[in-house]
């Protein structure tokens, strides 16, 4: 849940050269995510009916969230 202090709007980032991985390995269902932005810590728990998967690339260098029922709106996962 977000506290009353909303982070400032951030520009979208253009990740030059990003290519979605063609093959990934599944670690498991992602139940929650914790992140820090503008000095605030945010924790989001996903609903059991729409859990996404946490996966990693074949080279083990990056993690990705795949699937699930959620959206990002105004810097909040809903």
**pTM of the predicted model as reported, rounded to 2 decimal places:** 0.71
pLDDT tens, residue by residue, 20-30? 888 999 999 99
What's the confidence (pLDDT) of residue 76? Answer: 80
At 48, list the tokens.
């059991």
Q: Which residues are registered as beta bridge partners of 44?
A: 33
Average pLDDT over residues 20-41: 91
For residue 33, pLDDT over 90 is answered with yes
Q: Any residues with CB less than 8 A from the CB of 38 and at least 6 apart, and which?
A: 7, 8
Contact 67, 46 (CB under 8 A): no
Average pLDDT over residues 55-62: 92
């Amino acid at each position: 849940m977000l506290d009353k202090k909303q982070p400032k709007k951030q520009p979208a980032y253009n990740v030059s050269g990003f290519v979605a991985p063609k093959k990934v390995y599944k670690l498991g269902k992602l139940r929650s995510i914790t992140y820090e932005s503008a000095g605030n810590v945010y924790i989001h728990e996903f609903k059991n009916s729409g859990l996404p998967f946490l996966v990693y690339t074949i080279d083990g260098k990056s993690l990705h969230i795949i699937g699930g029922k959620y959206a990002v709106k105004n810097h909040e996962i809903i």
